[in-house]
Amino acid sequence: MAESGLVEQGTPIAETRRRQIEGVASALFRERGYAGTGMREIARGLQLRGASLYAHVGSKEDVLFSIVERAADRFATAISPYLHADGMSAESRLRGMIRAHVLVLTDDLEDATVFLHEWRFLGPERRARILARRDNHEQAFRDSIAAGTAAGDFRLVDERLAARSLLSSLNGIAGWWRADGPLSADQVAEAYADLHVSGLLTEASARHSGRFQR
């Protein structure tokens, strides 16, 4: 955790403080953008003076990196059970991954939005690290699509474009879904899984899964 850049670490109180700081910062970054948010505003949101904030946090970029890295952790953890689920059909695997991704997004919209849009304001090194993690995540979806094609369940598509299209579509959910809206996160996850999987199934698999009976 040394790379998270937070000065005071390792105790439960420090951890609680860190979460508070990141919660306030994440809401501000989402609302005003990273560039439009100062350490002073973050401190004010915590009822601290600006100088006191630096006892907890090295810099604004450290806070951004910590938020973005935790979000990357959550996405990776959520899809990991599906990556080597050998007994599972390609369709079930991809559905599980879509569902897991959507539930991480909707579980914390602020962090997700910062992860999706503000990560590009990181410095070059940290930006490259987050980019590598985003690439890994995309690769997992690509592999899942390719495995489905190899198994004869999915049609032959450019899995690189299919994975990008899929992830952009899912990430868009953070822009319009609201916890108090008409659709639950589960309903959205299921509907998106249906839309995307339907576009990939071969005729035989589609018949089998009842797609054309609807």
By CB under 8 A, is residue 103 in contact with a copy of itself? no
Cα 158 versus chain centre, distance:
23
User: Which 166-195 positions form the footprint of a copy of itself (CB under 8 A)?
Assistant: 166-173, 175-176, 188, 191-192, 194-195
Q: How far is CA 212 from CA 148, 183, 190, 202, 207, in A?
A: 19, 24, 17, 12, 6
CB 65, min distance to a copy of itself, A: 17
117-156 mask for a copy of itself (x: CB under 8 A)?
Answer: x---x---------------------------------xx
Rounded-to-integer distance, Cα 34 and Cα 54, Å: 18
Residue with smaller CB distance to a copy of itself, 56 or 196 = 196
Among 35, 55, 83, 150, binds a copy of itself (CB under 8 A): 35
C-alpha of 75 from chain center: 5
With contacts defined by CB under 8 A, name the span among 8-16, 31-39, 43-51, 102-110 that binds a copy of itself. 31-39
Which CB, 6 or 162, lies closer to a copy of itself?
162
Name every residue whose Cβ is closer than 8 Å to that of residue 74 and which is 6 or more positions away in sequence. 104, 107
Q: Which is nearer to a copy of itself, 38 or 81 (CB)?
A: 38
Phi, psi (rounded to 5 degrees) for 177: -70, 140
Query: What b-and-e string marks burial along 56-70, b requiring 16 or more CB atoms within 10 Å of the CB?
Result: bbeebebbbbbbbbb
Residues that bind a copy of itself (CB under 8 A): 32-37, 117, 121, 155-158, 161-162, 164-173, 175-176, 188, 191-192, 194-196, 198-200, 202-203, 206, 211-212, 214
